[in-house]
Amino acid sequence: MGKPTGFIEYLRELPQDRSAVERIRDWNEFHHHLEQGKLREQAARCMDCGVPFCHNGSLLNGMASGCPIHNLIPEWNDLVYRGLWQEALERLHKTNNFPDFTGRVCPAPCEGSCVLGINALPVTIKSLECAIIDRGWEEGWVVPEAPKVRTGKKVAVVGSGPAGLCAAAQLNKAGHEVTVFERADRVGGLLMYGIPNMKLDKQKVVLPRIAHMEAEGIKFVTGTNIGGNYPAKKLLKEFDATVLCTGATKPRDLPVEGRNLKGIHFAMDFLTHNTRRVLDHSQNGDFISADGKDVIVIGGGDTGTDCVGTSLRHGCRSLVQVEILPRPPQDRASDNPWPEWPKVYRLDYGQEEAAAKFGADPRVYLTTVKKFIGDDKGWVKEVLTVQIEWERNDKGQFVPKEVPGTEQLRPAQLVLLAMGFLGPEQPLLDELEVQRDPRSNVKAEFDKYTTNHKGVFAAGDCRRGQSLVVWAFNEGRGAARECDRYLMGQTNLP
């Protein structure tokens, strides 16, 4: 603990973002860092609590409480306060393979369970984490560390998203020869194509990490669809073990009248094509543009927010985000106590930008879509929405019920469905004859990650369902540990 009275002396302070009006004109990251003196003060607010719930990493009431990868947060806060930045980076890398990713896109459940947050604003853990790793890159402290000894074992990792990258990094560290297969044209999965560039810069953040992993000996093979242009059974013959990290990429649809109209797209198609266009510096044929259109985003999560921010950068004419849940309270409700994740109202970057451009938060709560209405050419032109109430049915379950007289026609030439995901795509799993759970996810026990096939492991969203990037990191590291144990009879991986 750097300063015993720091949490009393200093108020929580976050770095200022670029102005919303300015940043919607480009695809650059919008976060800044505080200057080092201010960062030292923010680190001093870490209060040496007896039990640091921030790195607890458990599920409370179905939500993450504390850091799922058990980052040693109080330790690197203390090191930052004392000016020992390189040591802080070493401590951060002990538990987190990619703090440059989590420091940007993690929702920071660690801050939700910070002990200081019981009666004050929590420590700025996420911004400190990002500052540590960014300085590490700037100072040249992040260098490739190839294993000194190779085991001769070959491991295939299917999928290069967060779980796959973590699994690959850890297995390579153990000395195995690791090949990562990715069906897209670029490595990164969700990190590359599911998160827009202004939130996670591909050229400055993602690609340097991939190059760093290649320098450590990991092989990446893109454009390879296991179960498609590369038979899954061939994979099992050529490698000593396989780790499935394919994600949960089957989107939730909205089967209402008019769903077949043109101009209605899944959010991930919209985001993927947009990022590919940004990286290729051209407008490819698959590009879905919001330029000059009335846009309706259906879904209130992070993916919906990314659709909002992307549509604004295209130059949309208007924007509405439909959310079926009620507006969260400003402060914690009585049934949402610390250290649970605080379910409170937040103005995320996309909504902040929409408010700056159009004058208000674009979200409409307790609202659902009844039908899509098209023009004479088969394109969507309007969306009929209705307000709902949540009531208990005869089984005691909460279900939505329409409020009579609240229907509203809203103009829309582009509709983006961002309602989450139902699980992994099934063809690869069918070919491998991997067992599934009732939700269609790969059946593999948490902390064991073994499937019904000997030598085949599963981790991340394809095993647990749609979740946070940091939970994917937890699972990728865990699957690597168990895979190493399977190959070698023992393991030193954490």
- Domains defined for the chain, CATH in brackets: 6-139 (1.10.1060.10), 154-249+422-488 (3.50.50.60), 253-419 (3.50.50.60)
How far is the C-alpha of 217 from the C-alpha of 321, rounded, in Å?
44
Structure tokens at 271: 């985001």
Is the distance from CB of 321 to CB of 308 less than 8 angstroms? yes
Q: What is the DSSP letter of 326?
A: P
Is the distance from CB of 18 to CB of 98 less than 8 angstroms? no
- With a cut of 80, say whether residue 245 has pLDDT above it: yes
For residue 147, the model assigns a pLDDT of 96
How far is the C-alpha of 84 from the C-alpha of 78, rounded, in Å?
9
How far is the C-alpha of 68 from the C-alpha of 335, rounded, in Å?
23
Neighbours of 59 (CB within 10 A): 14
- With a cut of 90, say whether residue 482 has pLDDT above it: yes
Name the pTM for this structure: 0.95
Share of the chain above pLDDT 70, in %: 99
Share of the chain above pLDDT 90, in %: 94
pLDDT digits (tens, 9 = 90+) for 402-440: 999 999 999 999 999 999 999 999 999 999 999 999 999
Identify the residue whose tokens are 């297995």. Answer: 171
Is the distance from CB of 157 to CB of 124 less than 8 angstroms? no
Is the distance from CB of 71 to CB of 129 less than 8 angstroms? yes
Cα angle for residues 272, 278, 284 (degrees, 5° grid): 70
Q: Which of 194, 240, 227 is nearest to 461 (CA)?
A: 194
Mean pLDDT for 113-124 is 95
Give the confidence band of 3 by pLDDT, cuts at 50, 70, 90. Answer: confident
What is the phi/psi pair of residue 93, to 5°?
A: -75, -15
- Order the strands of the 318-322 sheet from edge to edge: 264-266, 414-417, 294-298, 318-322, 363-364
How far is the C-alpha of 20 from the C-alpha of 362, rounded, in Å?
14
Amino acid at 405: G
How far is the C-alpha of 12 from the C-alpha of 405, rounded, in Å?
45
pLDDT digits (tens, 9 = 90+) for 247-306: 999 999 999 999 999 999 999 999 999 999 999 987 666 789 999 999 999 999 999 999
Kindly tell me the sign of the dihedral angle through the C-alpha atoms of 346, 348, 354, 359: positive
Average pLDDT value over all residues in the chain: 95
Mean pLDDT for 473-482 is 98
For residue 446, the model assigns a pLDDT of 93
Structure tokens at 240: 């000593």
- With a cut of 90, say whether residue 395 has pLDDT above it: no
State how beta strands 408-411 and 380-392 pair.
antiparallel
- With a cut of 80, say whether residue 1 has pLDDT above it: no
State how beta strands 250-251 and 421-423 pair.
antiparallel
Helix (H), strand (E) at residue 95:
none
Kindly tell me the sign of the dihedral angle through the C-alpha atoms of 307, 467, 174, 126: positive
Beta bridge partners of 243: 157, 457
Inter-CA distances, 280 with 10, 141, 161, 287, Å: 45, 30, 20, 12
Burial state string for 60-96 with b = 16 or more CB within 10 A and e = fewer than 16:
beeebbbbbbbbbbbbbbbbbbeeebeebbebbbebb
Mean pLDDT for 141-149 is 96
Beta bridge partners of 124: none
For residue 143, the model assigns a pLDDT of 97
Q: Which of 22, 26, 27 is nearest to 196 (CA)?
A: 27
- Classified as helix, coil or strand, 268 is helix
Q: Which of 62, 54, 43, 61 is nearest to 3 (CA)?
A: 43
Identify the residue whose tokens are 């969306």. Answer: 383
Is the distance from CB of 137 to CB of 103 less than 8 angstroms? no
For residue 285, the model assigns a pLDDT of 62
**Which residues neighbour 104 within 8 Å (Cβ) at sequence distance 6 or greater?**
29, 31, 130, 199, 200, 205
What is the phi/psi pair of residue 351, to 5°?
A: -70, -35
